[in-house]
Amino acid sequence: MSPFLNDLCDKLEQLYRQQLSSSSDLLHLYFSQSVSNDEFLKLRTNKNGLMCINEFLFANTDENIPLIFLEHENFKHSPTNNVNVLFKISISQTNVPNALYANIGTVSQFVHEKDYLISMSSIYRIGTVEALPEIPSVWLIHLTLLDQDDQELINSIQNIDTDEFYDDDYLALVGSNISDKLNQFKSTRKLCEQTLKPEAKHIRPVLLHYNMGIIYDALNDFNKALDQYKSAIKLIRDYEQHDAPKGNLLFAPIYSNMGLTYQKMNMSIHAFDHVFRALTIISNHPENSLFHSELSSGVYFNLGYTVHQQGQIREAKNYYEHALKSLQKYLPNDHPTVVKLHDILNSLKSEDETAKHSD
């Protein structure tokens, strides 16, 4: 972290401690944003899900201030299809939050006196989404800043520590995650060349968007990852109108990876739907088709991972077994990927036995 950000975080912590309140009343803060229809739909359909804001956030105790800002932004820019949203954050003043916040209007003449600053990487639970009664064209989304000891937050962090991260060095971690994703569907490039033909101008852009989706996912920038995957899908569909077969296998790795991204965003229904869609595409092709075994193993593995994260141990075991069966068609039993999958299945067997005894 840069010296400037270090100083800012230190100052914010100092202000937070100075302004600690024993009030049992909730603190309500507001900020506004114009979001895309896709983003709004994700928020609207993910009630009780978690949302992380990875940057410093300015919010105000007076809801009129962000509404004025929203009106000003709309006046500056030409009309778009974006949705105007007022976010209302509820904060318990008696519990320790997962991210520090403080009223900076008391110490700075450059901001509104009721302005608050919330630290980076703040995590919220999404509440109700409703049209703002006074201004029907603006939607009100309720957020709750999670407490530091929130059980769902603790579980999420533990899952990240045990399932996602294997190295203390962040860059090594990102590189490892990217490498794993690329290797899982390593035939994507050849499949792209076969499907779109070597001379097709779409090949490089499709692969670029696909690879950027993987990179953004590894960096935990999930919305950008989804945007990149969707761009790849659009390019393939544009090409399909002319030469490529409908429902071709090239969609399988993209939808499968999108499912994992949705799972990381705690959007369980979207997660399963996308990975299962990839499986449906593969199932519509004969088993002797190009790269069928590799694609099947990757998609079944991702289905296993997705339902395991959702607590469905037996279903996960079933999907992982299908993944193993596909892997063994083209990899030896001592291959690291096969060995790893055996370890996962043994671990799931232990989990299943524990669950049976607890019942």
pLDDT at 21: 83
Query: Which H/E stretch holds residue 64?
Result: helix 64-76
Which of 41-55, 198-212, 297-311 reaches the highest mean pLDDT?
297-311
Asked which of 101, 117, 148 is the last residue of a domain, the reply is 148
Residues 141 and 172 in one domain: no
pLDDT confidence band for 221 (50 / 70 / 90) = confident
Asked which of 148, 183, 198 is the last residue of a domain, the reply is 148
Each residue of 190-210: pLDDT tens digit? Answer: 766 666 665 556 677 888 788
Distances (CA, A) of 207 to 175, 246, 280: 18, 19, 22
pLDDT confidence band for 244 (50 / 70 / 90) = very low
Domains identified in the chain, total number: 2
Lowest-confidence pick of 183-187, 220-224, 330-334:
183-187
Residues 6+ apart with CB under 8 A from 260: 217, 271, 275, 302, 305, 306
Interval 129-140 mean pLDDT: 92
154: in domain? no
pLDDT at 256: 94
Asked which of 148, 174, 199 is the last residue of a domain, the reply is 148
Each residue of 121-130: pLDDT tens digit? Answer: 888 999 999 9
pLDDT at 215: 81
Query: Which H/E stretch holds residue 337?
Result: helix 336-358
Residues 191 and 335 in one domain: yes
pLDDT at 71: 80
Taking Cα atoms as reference points, which of 268, 284, 5 lies closest to residue 119? 5
pLDDT at 6: 67
153: in domain? no
List the CATH number of the domain containing 54: 3.90.176.10
- Decide if pLDDT at 171 tops 50: no
Average per-residue pLDDT for the chain: 81
Structure tokens at 129: 């989404």
CA distance 280 to 122: 37
Which structural domain range is residue 93 located in? 3-148
Interval 57-77 mean pLDDT: 81
Residues 37 and 186 in one domain: no
CA distance 181 to 210: 11
- The sign of the torsion formed by the CA atoms of 346, 352, 356, 359 equals positive
Are the C-beta atoms of residues 59 and 116 closer than 8 Å to each other? yes
pLDDT confidence band for 41 (50 / 70 / 90) = confident
Residues 35 and 118 in one domain: yes
Rounded percentage of the chain residues whose pLDDT exceeds 90: 33
Structure tokens at 7: 């100083």
Structure tokens at 183: 């290797």
114: in domain? yes
- Residue-wise burial string across 276-302, b where 16 or more C-beta atoms lie within 10 A, e elsewhere: bbbbebbeebeeeeebbbbbbbbbbbb
